[in-house]
A and B are shown apart, each in its own frame.
Chain A
Amino acid sequence: MTPAGGANDFTIEPLGESVLLMRFGDAIDADTNARVHAAADTLRRVEMPGLIDLVPAYATLALHYDTAFWVGRNGDTAWQHLAGALRAVFAAPLRPEPGETRLVEIPVCYGDEFGPDLADVARHGGLGPEQVIARHAQADYRVAMLGFAPGFAYLLGLDPALQVPRRANPRTRVPRGSVAIGGMQTGIYPAELPGGWQLIGRTPLALFDAASPSPCLLAPGDRVRLRAIGRDEFDALARTPAP
């Protein structure tokens, strides 16, 4: 997909002494988010020096940078120096590298004990539980960002009929692997965490494993497809050690 709008159409704002935010918009939408990922890809491709961490979010890309590397010259401060270098990188039209996006399939067992809020989500949307499952499992999702906790992926692409407010009383413990909806967002809890989203299913896959060299199943920008599975398959997959 080619990002809509100019990839160099962004503003730069500092977040303290060693972080800059490139802002592409203010809302949750697929086009804005695609531009965030395209910008992150570009910075990796040009091997922009002096960067410590890139944090893509819905509408912004944060750059944690080495202030000593970008130390100011000609009266510029370090952040102005980096901001100038960024504008130079993005002055040329972006040529997105084709076909690099990963597609990850995630099996989900919906309802019953794994989806205590499925009935509420269905009622809220004027749908039956089976329709909620069908619509949730057939959408094309994209990992807009990770945050909140290690490996927690926010997925874009939720069917609007499934949007439902967060629970009035958040749970202190949401089980690991829970698939949930919060507003227009959907996501999967990578560990047992507190949470206010509505739980509709669970995956047997490990979304986060600190002992693995690639600890997170999902990366920013990944495409995600969910596959509805039954309890038998869930139990079988849950017993299978990760490859």
Chain B
Amino acid sequence: MSIRVLKSGLLTTLQDRGRSGLAAFGIGSAGPMDEVAFRLANALVGNGDDAAALEISLIGPRLHFGADAVIALAGAEFDAHVGTQAIAGWQRRLVAAGDILDCGRVRHGARAYLAVAGGFEAPVVLGSRSCDVNAGLGPLNGRPLREGDALPVVRMRDGADDTARAWQHVGSAHAVEAAWSLDPRPWFDPDPGHAIHLIRGRHFDALDEASREALFTAEFKVAPDSNRVGFRLDGPRLALAAPLELVSEAVAFGTLQLPPGGQPIALLAEHPTTGGYPRIGQIAAIDLPRLAQRKPGDSVRFREIDLDEAQTRYLRRERELAQMIEAIAKRLDA
């Protein structure tokens, strides 16, 4: 069975959990911008997080389903419909053969994940089905979906595999209303008024005094030319107290760089593996999904957190997320 793309949406890409093991060759991980929503979308349809889902951004795609499928949307709230029927997020839904899912426009947040039971089938490129748009790497050479693409879905086998169980649980075709949904609140926070926790970077102390102060007090806004590589942050120009001679070294998801123009860049899912600009901060991993849900023009304020606290909270979140995913799996099995 396959899903045909009638309209691509603004930026719709295939993502699994990303590439690993090749950073030494300049090959970045790509993967979802909001890892938490991605994992929960897959969990809701009985997939592991190695399954590929669609990351949809601001304006969602219009998709024709060639066969019945179990789907879930998680992350930003979109105005999604099948015909006149609204498709709410954070729950599994059945879509029947011939249905057209119009994901519509975003209402809250920026990105959502459309998972389908069994996962989207796509060639594995360098260990992953994630599209790295910037590097031109992955299925479809990393390009976003466009009209006319056909996306095969891993075929549902008869028998006792997860997909078939998920199918039975939803029930017969056209029983579209799910019996339960997940409370998104602990996992999804699109409020741009909430501060983003930031760890001081190696070169924080090299900022001049006004910039050190501004980093944690000023309001920044996500600039229009932001993308999956990174968010440029409009706001006060930041400056070093004295120029630094730096040599390239590794950067990470969440690294806050300061190029010479003084406009910080928060590196995100498609960040290059290395960089040579001063690293003034590192966004706490717990807040990366929050930042990923902001769109151009949204506010960003930073609040300082120390590394130990950030790591403790990150590990706690990972445990809680694993428990939630396990609870969803139990519910699917029931």
- A interface with B by C-beta (< 8 Å): 13-19, 21, 26-28, 40, 52-60, 62, 64, 67-68, 71, 77-79, 145-152, 154, 191, 210-211, 215-216, 219-220
Contacts and interface: CB of A to CB of B under 8 A. Distances in A.
Contacts of B23: 53-55, 62, 64
Contacts of A26: 247
Nearest to A32: B247
B282 A16 contact: yes
Contacts, number: 131
B25 A219 contact: yes
A19 B250 contact: yes
Interface in B301-317: 307-308, 310-312, 314-315
Given A79-B311, A149-B272, A54 B24 contact: yes
A177 to B, nearest CB: 16
A61 to B, nearest CB: 8
Given A17-B311, A17-B314, A210-B126, A57 B249 contact: yes
Contacts of B247: 26-28, 57-59
Interface residues of B, number: 42
A16 B312 contact: no
A215 B126 contact: yes
Contacts of B20: 52-53, 64
A145 B274 contact: yes
A67 B314 contact: yes
A13 to B, nearest CB: 6
18 contacts: A13-B202, A16-B199, A16-B254, A18-B252, A19-B250, A40-B24, A53-B23, A55-B24, A55-B274, A57-B250, A62-B250, A68-B315, A77-B308, A150-B27, A150-B28, A150-B135, A216-B27, A220-B25
Nearest to A59: B247
- Could you say which of A26, A71, A149, A152 has the most chain B C-beta atoms within 10 Å of its C-beta? A149
Interface string B23-52: 111111000000000000000000000000
Contact of B255 (A15, A60, A149): A15
A67 B317 CA distance: 12
B26 A147 contact: yes
A148 to B, nearest CB: 6
Given A146-B25, A149-B272, A58 B249 contact: yes
Interface of B: 20-28, 125-126, 135-137, 199, 202, 247-255, 272-275, 279, 282-285, 307-308, 310-312, 314-315, 318
B317 to A, nearest CB: 10
A206 to B, nearest CB: 14
B69 to A, nearest CB: 29
B187 to A, nearest CB: 18
A209 B193 CA distance: 44
Given A62-B23, A215-B126, 5 more contacts: A17-B311, A53-B21, A53-B22, A149-B272, A216-B27
A220 B310 CA distance: 32
Nearest to A146: B26
B315 A78 contact: yes
Contact of B307 (A54, A79, A145, A191): A79
Contact of B315 (A13, A67, A211, A219): A67
B273 A55 contact: yes
Contact of A191 (B136, B274, B308): B136
Closest 9 CB pairs between A and B? A147-B274, A62-B250, A57-B249, A146-B26, A53-B23, A55-B250, A16-B282, A60-B249, A58-B247
B249 A21 contact: yes
B209 to A, nearest CB: 23
B311 A78 contact: yes
A146 B250 CA distance: 10
A77 B250 contact: no
Nearest to B281: A16
A26 B126 CA distance: 32
Contacts of A62: 23, 249-250
A210 B318 CA distance: 32
- Could you say which of A15, A27, A152 has the most chain B C-beta atoms within 10 Å of its C-beta? A15
Contacts of A15: 202, 250-252, 255, 279, 282
Contacts of A58: 247-249
B24 A16 contact: no
Contact of A17 (B27, B202, B310): B310
A39 B191 CA distance: 44
Given A17-B307, A147-B26, A210 B125 contact: yes
Contacts of B307: 14, 16-17, 77, 79
A15 B125 CA distance: 28
Contacts of B249: 21, 57-60, 62
Contact of B24 (A68, A146, A211): A146
